[in-house]
Structure formats: C-alpha cells, structure tokens
Amino acid sequence: MLKDSIKNTQTLEELQELYTATYGKNGTMTARLKEMKNMDNDARAELNRENTELRELFKVRQNEIENAVMMATLEKQKLDVSLDAQPENRGTLHPLTQALKEIVAIFESMGYTLMTGPEIEDDWHNFTALNTPSYHPARDMQDTFFLENGNVMRTQTSAIQIRAMEKQGVPIRMFGIGATYRKEMDATHSPSFGQIEGLCVDKVEKNVNLTDFIATLRTFTSRFFEMDVEFRIRPSYFPFTEPSVEIDMKFGDKWIELLCGGMVHPNVLRNCGIDPNEYQGFAFGFGWDRLAMVKYHLNDIRAFYDSDVRWLKSTGF
C-alpha cells in the first residue's frame, strides 16, 4: 500500500523515487488527477481528499528523515560552550505575509478551499465570462495592462472563480488569492496588489442568499481584526453580481471601504455551463493589502514595498 511505502522509506532518495512514481509526469496519481474532469462530484471530492492526504504524508516523512539525518550528524559533533555567542539577528515575517497567512487560515477554517490561477489571463476569463463583454461600459472602470497577443495582466482574481467552476463544477465553496495589476499608483492604490476572491454556490433549495454573504464577511472580519465589527452596507454595481453591495467597516469615528460582492449574476453561471434556475450563490472580493493597512494602522500602502528593514523590524512580526 502506498501509505505504508511512504512511512517505510529510509532515505530522501527512496522517498524522492516514490514521489516521482506517484506525482511525476507518468505518476499514478498524476494519471488519476487528469481523469478528474470525467468524475462525478463525490468521486472528485474523494480523490481530492486522497491527494491531500498523500501529499501531507510525503511532507511529514521528508521532515522525519531530514530530522533524523540532522540528529545523527549532531551526535557526532562537539560543541565548544566556551565560545562567545553570536549576536542574534532574527528574520521576521513581512506584514503582508502575516496578513495573508491569517486570512487563509480563517477561510479554510470556514470550509473554503484555496485555489489559484494564472496572472496572465485571456479575455474570456478576465472579462467576458464575468458578464463583461467587449462592448460593456464596465471595462472602462479598470485601467488594464494589455499584452500584444490580446491577453491581459489579470485585473481581478475573479477569473479564478470562473476557472474553478469550469474545472470543479458546483456546488462549490472556494477562495482564490493572487496578484492583480492595474494602472494605478497613489497612497491607497498600487499597480500590483494582492486580492482575495470568494465564491459559494449551491442548489437553489439550499437558499444561499445575501444574508449568508454578509454573515460570512462579518465572521471573517471579526476574526481577522479580533474585534466586533460594525458594517455599513451600500448598494453598488458590478457586472458579475446582482444585487451588488459594498461594505464599509467602522474604525473609531471613520468608515473605511473594505469589501464588496453580491449574488452571482445568472449570466456568469450560464457562462460556466451552470443552470441559474438550479444553482445560486454569492461572491466577494477585497484587497488584502487594504485590510493589512487598516490592521497595522498604515496611512500609505506604499510603505509595504519600501523595503525599510527598520520599519519591518519595528512592526514586531
């Protein structure tokens, strides 16, 4: 059995050979994963569970072997305790990294699966499938970096939602993270910034509605900011959700725009081959840079990218 073989490997070389046989180009699990598109939802879920478990076993066994090798080496070495200790100069996590780790942990604990997608996107996934065809005025809302071949630097991680529904189908509960690109640069905007997108779609009879959407974001923000949050919900417009809202959060005596989203537009579901009469759900998005600014009390988003080691150490991460 593969699990037993992983646990019984004695060297990193043996473990690498077994990993290649499983996940290499012609690996057994690689072949099974390629057939996932032909499976029903239950079979896909079972294969995903098995895949996750095997990868974790490989990682755990690698750590065990490496630790064993290190301990064997240390037993052969002698330590001169009379030497003066070297001054400590510890590295620290960047605030954006820390914020992202917290965000991922919160959403995974809420049952959402992390997914990613390419940063160079085609027109279909970045615009058209999101109910923004070539003639749609909403395209003028974004200053896009266009490439010579017609592709674009991803303007929003919503494209990951389209790819997730095309690949995995529904029902689905996922969130995507990644860099996005727009021609913006000021104290609160960066030409490249991190974005989080979330999606929850289920059968119509499950009644996944706007109340669930707001409750999900309220739960997330209260855990991320470690405080009870006060929301102000404003109607808005996005081509891929209807109805659409923007959510402000109160800090002290100020309201700060943090999150947006709404119910997935029926056209988006149709573009992914999903019948909106049978399924409905909500989607949301926000920039984790903006959330980190608020949490760490920054007035200028550009401070994250200045590489000022003194400031990074002063944050205490």
237-266 confidence digits (pLDDT tens): 999 999 999 999 887 788 888 899 999 999
SS3 state at 115: strand
Position 305 confidence tier, pLDDT thresholds 50, 70, 90: confident
Q: Both ends of the chain: CA-CA distance in Å? A: 43
CB atoms within 10 A of CB 48: 14
Smallest CA-to-CA distance from 220 within 259, 181, 178 is with 259
Is the alpha carbon torsion for 60, 64, 70, 71 positive or negative? positive
pLDDT of residue 167: 92
pLDDT for residue 165 is more than 90: yes
Position 138 confidence tier, pLDDT thresholds 50, 70, 90: low
Instruction: Using a pLDDT cut of 70, give the percent of the chain over it.
Output: 93
pLDDT for residue 215 is more than 50: yes
pLDDT of residue 135: 77
CB atoms within 10 A of CB 141: 13
Q: Which pair of structure tokens corresponds to residue 135?
A: 């003639």
pLDDT of residue 186: 55
* Total-model pTM: 0.66
Geometric angle at alpha carbon 11, from 9 and 17, rounded to 5°: 70
pLDDT for residue 221 is more than 70: yes
Mean pLDDT of 79-92: 73
Q: Which pair of structure tokens corresponds to residue 221?
A: 């923000």
Smallest CA-to-CA distance from 23 within 50, 63, 60 is with 50
Mean pLDDT of 160-178: 94
The CATH fold assigned to 95-315 is BirA Bifunctional Protein; domain 2 (3.30.930)
Mean pLDDT of 298-314: 73
pLDDT for residue 129 is more than 60: yes
Geometric angle at alpha carbon 132, from 129 and 135, rounded to 5°: 130
> Are the CB atoms for 221 and 232 separated by under 8 Å?
no
pLDDT of residue 310: 72
What are the structural domain ranges in the chain? 2-75, 95-315
pLDDT of residue 203: 96
Higher pLDDT, 184 or 82: 82
SS3 state at 230: coil
Mean pLDDT of 36-58: 86
Residue written as token pair 């990951």: 160
Instruction: Give the C-alpha distances (Å, rounded to integers) separating 280 from 23, 102, 117, 172, 270.
Output: 35, 28, 23, 11, 11
Higher pLDDT, 197 or 254: 197
